[in-house]
Structure 1
Amino acid sequence: MGYPSAELFEEVAYVAYHFHWPYTDLMNLDHLERRRWIEEIVKINERLNSAEESTPEYL
């Protein structure tokens, strides 16, 4: 059984969107390495969102 194509496209799209890496580079990563990069992107987004929530809004 192969790797589910829908999940593969989702992973590649997510990393490409955030890091702007070329398709061929992303496809050359194995699944575990792509998942690791996704985890790092999630951490970055969580830190950014947390910082935005703690910044007061001024009128």
Structure 2
Amino acid sequence: MTYATDRLHEEIAYVAYHFHWGLADILDLEHADRRRYAGEIAALVTRAGAED
């Protein structure tokens, strides 16, 4: 199975934007780890928005 290039770019941009990590560091992550970080960031953003 291949992972959609557009989705991969979205994950990279999301993690880079919120964690300020470089491209090489993000690409070094296993797919499951990168997805987990993206999910955790989304939860934090959602929670912060609910508190406003």
Segments of 4+ moved more than 3 angstroms:
none
Residue in 2 that maps onto 1:48: 48
**TM-score computed with the length of structure 1 as normaliser:** 0.79
Residue in 1 that maps onto 2:7: 7
Q: Which segments of 5 or more consecutive residues in structure 2 lack a partner in the other structure?
A: none
**In 1, Cα distance between the equivalents of 2:48 and 2:28?**
29
**TM-score computed with the length of structure 2 as normaliser:** 0.88
Question: Which structure has the larger Rg?
Answer: 1
Aligned length: 52
Q: Which has the higher contact order (CA 8 A, sep 6+)?
A: 2
Residue 30 (structure 1) shift: 1.4
How well do the aligned residues superpose, as a CA RMSD in angstroms? 1.1
